């Protein structure tokens, strides 16, 4: 059973979303709140959350700050940011926060379910909003200390793993398709994250696109 937490200060939206999520097979909402601070307190005593859905605009603590605090102490939790905002600036902040995915509040229920399923299987979700602006985002510092990779910085196998992950393949499915062990797939993922100094796998994709190691077409 996939265990979800929901933090949003708009009660009607939060309750409606919790009810919707409760209809999904294999999904259970185990916590909901209007307060980021309350959620952090909950996590001190509860380690069962798999995915946390966080609103961005909240009065006491915004979603970006909450995301960072959650991941500092519970780095296995996947963070899905939800918001009415969908500007490039918003998405840039979402990705810099270390979140694993983003959906807008006017998304179709099917897109929300897809995001949750992808977070569970691949560890991130690249929806239409994220995918459309990835190439434009400059998430890494400019200047002399910036890593300038050669064209072979990522191996052909690593690029192949990225493409398959972006198509929603789980590690087990990738292993089967490439005729390698699942543990090898996980090793490739972690090695790429370490190579580029990213917070999560979305950072790897942004890095690869920015430095022309992958094309946007490779991700679809």
User: Using CA atoms, how far apart are residues 36 and 9, in angstroms rounded to an integer?
Assistant: 9
pLDDT value at residue 130: 66
Q: Are 101 and 124 in contact (CB under 8 A)?
A: yes
Q: Are 6 and 32 in contact (CB under 8 A)?
A: yes
Domain ranges of the chain: 2-125, 156-219
Do 2-125 and 156-219 agree at the fold level? no
Domain 2-125: CATH superfamily is Response regulator (3.40.50.2300)
- The runs of H, that is alpha helices, within 46-86 are 63-73
pLDDT value at residue 141: 40
Using DSSP, state whether 206 is helix, strand or coil. Answer: helix
Q: Are 58 and 87 in contact (CB under 8 A)?
A: no
User: Using CA atoms, how far apart are residues 215 and 220, in angstroms rounded to an integer?
Assistant: 10
pLDDT, tens only, 93-129 = 888 899 999 999 999 999 999 999 999 998 988 776 6
Hey, what CATH class is 156-219 in?
mainly alpha
What pTM, to 2 d.p., does this model score? 0.84
Q: Are 83 and 104 in contact (CB under 8 A)?
A: yes
CA distances to 35, 111, 166 from 202, rounded to whole Å, are 27, 18, 10
pLDDT, tens only, 67-89 = 999 999 999 999 999 999 888 78
Q: Give the residue ranges of the chain where pLDDT is below 50.
A: 138-144
pLDDT value at residue 54: 98
pLDDT value at residue 142: 44
User: Using CA atoms, how far apart are residues 40 and 145, in angstroms rounded to an integer?
Assistant: 35
């Amino acid at each position: 059973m996939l265990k979800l937490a929901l933090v949003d200060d708009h009660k009607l939206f939060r309750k409606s979303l919790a009810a919707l999520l409760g209809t999904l097979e294999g999904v259970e909402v185990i916590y909901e709140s209007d307060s980021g601070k309350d959620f952090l307190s909950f996590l001190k005593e509860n380690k069962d959350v798999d995915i946390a859905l966080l609103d961005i605009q909240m009065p006491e603590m915004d979603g970006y700050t909450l995301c960072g605090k959650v991941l500092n102490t519970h780095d296995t939790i996947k963070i899905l940011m939800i918001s009415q905002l969908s500007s490039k600036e918003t998405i840039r902040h979402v990705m810099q926060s270390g979140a694993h995915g983003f959906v807008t509040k006017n998304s179709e229920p099917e897109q929300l379910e897809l995001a949750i399923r992808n977070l569970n299987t691949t560890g991130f979700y690249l929806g239409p909003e994220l995918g459309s602006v990835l190439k434009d985002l400059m998430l890494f510092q400019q200047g002399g200390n910036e890593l300038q990779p050669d064209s072979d910085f990522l191996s052909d196998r690593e690029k192949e793993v990225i493409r398959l992950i972006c198509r929603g393949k789980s590690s087990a499915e990738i292993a089967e398709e490439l005729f390698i062990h699942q543990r090898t797939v996980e090793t490739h993922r972690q090695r790429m994250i370490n190579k580029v100094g990213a917070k999560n796998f979305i950072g790897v994709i942004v890095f690869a696109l920015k430095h022309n190691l992958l094309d946007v077409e490779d991700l679809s």
